[in-house]
Chain A
């Protein structure tokens, strides 16, 4: 719950972000149910401690995947390792929980098993989408899963006494319809030409000049009101670029803020320029290199 909560802000992809957002509350309720059950079993309410230092180490390892480009690692950790593992542990506990005097525990287990399996199935679908955007990421996911299972294996699972295998497939997979409630369709792409309107033609020429590294020509498109810092910003670019792609177009009244991703042999840079229509054609008024090769 805590890790998912912390990761939402660190995850760029809207569908993965919303997947985490959906599940934080379910996880919190699971923890709350267990925390309330504790005093009924003569322990302190809402007090928990890790199963051992190796469990802490395994979760510390999970938390290291916090860079924006590591969404695949984040989803893999929670949805291919932690949640299926928890469901497995719960299922084994349920199998031995006495049906006469342990119904309070059994009810919590049943709810947690159902929801963890559903979450894992939803996570698997989001992971498929991520793999579709970047084929190589599937291999990364497999390696990361292996590494985390090893770390969790060294801890003998979350409770420190789990028999292998740490993750067992569900006896009956969750129904598609119930999984769908956890998923939000990612927002569709936008029509770049329509968003640019009559800026499309001058922007095409501008992109070509950027790709060739003709920064003098690019600077010539600065409007009279552009601040001197704009020139300095352009100096931060390291051309040439193989691809200059329009990745974002926002409007402020008649103006357009265009975000370009520039990919070249020396890495990827992101250039954000605000364009304004003038009598002499479109001119750039502000420039920002928001992300550069480091």
Chain B
């Protein structure tokens, strides 16, 4: 097996329809829809849950690759990645259940492979910075909002399930914070590149500009500052993220 494998080797059952993130967003914009589901309808809710489901699957696959790709990394790093694989496999199961709960089916919405692509980064430090801190940090924001909306809708199934998953995600972001530091100790250049990779993800994948600083009732997706602090983000990093959302692109 190659270390790492080419990103187009990601294997799926036929029922999954894979598309580029940009193409899906454009197809939505053409139809007057927001590029990222705004949870304003049942279909939009299913779209969001389906997007998270495939994201969880890619997170499991990416963490699995990190177990395989870095035999020379510290053993504790491998142990953390193996733990993450197990967590993500349970998240997949949870979201399969939630999709069913909402009357959806696997494959009902296109799958984009953004997380997987980031998980194919060659450097372990870049991988944990980009995936664990960048994308799973973003997942904390999204899950926090989902819990808030589920509570408002009176759907305890979604509210509680996502709350459990959020707890794990905070742990994964924390793992990312730890390993970004440990793997790049004494190597300023490697650290700079890893953080740059994370910053580029934070700027590019900002949920169509919906993620902002502010309360749930005021902004579409609120940056989950408390969850991020628990996960090892410094106040300075959170400030930087807030600034980056103010100049973000569409996707």
Contact = CB atoms under 8 A, between A and B. Distances in A.
Tell me whether A and B are bound partners.
yes
Interface of A: 1-14, 17-18, 20-22, 24-28, 32, 35, 46, 63, 66, 68, 184, 187-188, 190-191, 195, 247-255, 257, 259, 261, 270, 272, 274, 286, 290
Interface of B, helix, strand, loop or mixed by DSSP: helix
Contact of A248 (B16, B65, B66, B68): B16
Nearest to A28: B82
A4 B93 contact: no
Contacts of A12: 11-13
B23 interface: yes
A9 B13 contact: no
Contacts of B116: 9
A181 to B, nearest CB: 11
B106 A14 contact: yes
Given A12-B13, A24-B67, A251 B108 contact: yes
A270 B14 contact: yes
Given A14-B13, A21-B88, A184 B93 contact: yes
A71 B140 CA distance: 33
B82 A24 contact: yes
Contacts of B24: 252
A14 B116 CA distance: 16
15 contacts: A5-B82, A5-B85, A6-B65, A6-B69, A9-B61, A14-B92, A21-B85, A21-B88, A32-B75, A184-B89, A184-B96, A251-B109, A252-B31, A253-B27, A259-B17
A9 B19 contact: no
B18 interface: yes
Given A2-B71, A190-B106, A253-B33, A27 B82 contact: yes
Given A46-B75, A248-B15, A6 B108 contact: no
Nearest to A286: B23
Interface of B: 1, 5, 9-19, 23-24, 27-28, 31, 33, 43, 57, 60-69, 71, 75, 78-79, 81-83, 85-86, 88-89, 92-93, 96, 105-110, 116
A9 B4 CA distance: 11
B107 A250 contact: yes
List 10 tightest A-B contacts by C-beta distance, closest first. A21-B89, A6-B68, A5-B67, A25-B86, A28-B82, A9-B61, A247-B14, A8-B64, A5-B64, A250-B17
Contacts of B89: 18, 21-22, 184
B31 A7 contact: no
Contacts of A250: 17, 107-110
Given A8-B85, A13-B13, A248-B14, A18 B93 contact: yes
Contact of B68 (A2, A249, A255): A2
B85 A24 contact: yes
Given A21-B92, A68-B11, A248-B14, A6 B27 contact: no
A63 B75 CA distance: 21
B31 A6 contact: no
A28 B11 contact: no
B109 A252 contact: yes
Contacts of B43: 251
Contacts of B57: 17
Q: Which of A7, A8, A22, A35 has the most CB of B within 10 A?
A: A8
Contacts of A255: 27, 31
B61 A8 contact: yes
A148 B108 CA distance: 40
A135 B194 CA distance: 48
A272 B17 contact: yes
Nearest to A272: B17
Nearest to B78: A28
Given A2-B67, A6-B1, A28-B67, A21 B60 contact: yes
A24 to B, nearest CB: 4
Contacts of A251: 43, 108-109
A11 B5 CA distance: 13
Given A9-B9, A12-B12, A253-B31, A21 B107 contact: no
Contacts of A2: 67-68, 71, 78
